[in-house]
Amino acid sequence: MAKIKPSKGAPYARILGVGGYRPTRVVPNEVILETIDSSDEWIRSRSGIETRHWASPEETVAAMSVEASGKAIADAGIDASQIGAVVVSTVSHFSQTPAIATEIADRLGTDKAAAFDISAGCAGFGYGLTLAKGMVVEGSAEYVLVIGVERLSDLTDLEDRATAFLFGDGAGAVVVGPSKEPAIGPTVWGSEGDKSETIKQTVPWSDYRHGTVEKFPAITQEGQAVFRWAVFEMAKVAQQALDAAGITADELDVFIPHQANVRIIDSMVKTLKLPEHVMVARDIRTTGNTSAASIPLAMERLLATGEAKSGDTALVIGFGAGLVYAATVVTLP
């Protein structure tokens, strides 16, 4: 019986660079109030959102991804030709095939990098990061580009009072590469499909195609159910990620949760008993909920503003439609 030669990858993996792209159009709450019966104070108190970015026709999923990825590659100090795989997490690329990752890989100038899309909602960045770590350590790619990108304005029902104000557009990307020491902890991830009705697309594409419904599909959610699940269950997952990495809350420098709702973020901070010195990302205030893009966008902003620095230890957690979740501890690039 022949023996398969073992893979030769890096001993560990780390995030080497990060980049982000926010569309040029800034949309204040006043614009949202044109189509729903609400108020700026209500939106801010319920979600923390003041503004969000909406993409123009030219700011496509691919175009935003290329912009964010170019920054991440430059930040990592490598050339695009060294990228061995491109992993794109998105729910708003409307072509079933081919994967948008293939177009992005080509436009960036990679050397025939492996490229594929994943659909894991707001946990998509964590899923992609976990896959990238495995590829680097296993040896199938030396450098992996992980992109979270969304044009959720295309999937927003502006007459839905529960969701019209939530979503924004943008792209965030990181380069994952070899490391001599642990810099991406074990991932605590999973799914609770019995709760899939709490965040979902209103109707299948087939219903729209066959004329069963006239209104274009949108994302809808049961706000209170999602809030309770995120606050009580995701704090447990976050703690499990800390435990798996051998890190205590006191040893954390930064907390970067999915930017779903400021009240959820604040409740998780309280439940986890994070010390005051821990910098907490609240990028949602000016970016909105960008699903898979929210964690890398928040990470990029914290580093750009100096609120976080290279080498800081950060807890990241994403959670959303599925319901799915993924949390890990990382060293910031």
Point out the catalytic residue in the list 29, 93, 261, 289. 289
Residue 261 annotated to the active site: no
User: Which residue in the list 53, 122, 261, 277 is annotated as catalytic?
Assistant: 122
3-state SS, the chain, equals CCCCCCCCCCCEEEEEEEEEECCCEEEEHHHHCCCCCCCHHHHHHHHCCCEEEECCCCCCHHHHHHHHHHHHHHHHCCCHHHEEEEEEECCCCCCCCCCHHHHHHHHHCCCCCEEEEECCHHHHHHHHHHHHHHHHHHCCCCEEEEEEEEEHHHHCCCCCCCCCCCECEEEEEEEEEEECCCCECCCEEEECHHHHHHEEECCCHHHHHCCCCCCCCCEEECHHHHHHHHHHHHHHHHHHHHHHHCCCHHHCCEEEECCCCHHHHHHHHHHHCCCCCCEECCCHHHHCECHHHHHHHHHHHHHHHCCCCCCCEEEEEEEECCCEEEEEEEECC
| Residue 174 φ/ψ region, left for φ over 0, alpha for ψ in the -120 to 50 degree band, beta for the rest | beta
**Which residue, 243, 181, 223, 252, is CA-closest to 43?**
223
Specify which residues 199 forms β-bridges with.
Answer: 221
Is 277 annotated as catalytic?
no
Q: Which of 29, 53, 93, 258 is catalytic?
A: 258
Catalytic residues: 122, 258, 289
